[in-house]
Amino acid sequence: MKPLGFIAALAALASAVPQPLQYSSEAPSSDRLSKRATLCGPQEYLETFWFLVKNGISEAAPDDGSQCITVVGQFDSLLRWSTSFTWSGASSTPRSY
């Protein structure tokens, strides 16, 4: 391969490599949650610009426990969330997915 051909191929490869996301100090309003959201109901969900967050707790045995998901915040394509739950009954009984 000629040196110029190699340099051209290398430049083409470098331009094809995914670049890290660039974050600004201010995200567009459609990409940011204005406040926390807590999902505790069966099949409750929250849609954001980038994500669909579901509380997948089963309705079959609501007396056996509870589960809540808290979406703490979103910045661009990053989502911060937490979950809390309590279970009772047989460990083999599915309650969430």
Residue 59 lies in a domain: yes
Look up tokens 């190699």; give the residue: 6
CA distance 95 to 43: 12
Arithmetic mean of pLDDT, 4-21: 48
| Residue 18 forms part of a structural domain | no
Tens of pLDDT, residue by residue over 67-82, are 888 888 887 788 888 8
Separation CA 47–CA 27 (nearest Å) = 17
How many domains does one find in the chain? Answer: 1
In a domain, 5, yes or no: no
Has residue 78 been placed in a domain? yes
Which pTM was predicted? 0.51
Q: Could you report how far apart the first and last alpha carbons of the chain are, in Å? A: 55
Q: Tell me what percent of the residues of the chain surpass a pLDDT of 70.
A: 49
Q: Which residues pair with 37 in a beta bridge?
A: 71
Q: Residue 69 belongs to what domain range?
A: 26-87
pLDDT of residue 79: 84
Q: How far apart are CA 80 and CA 17, in angstroms?
A: 27
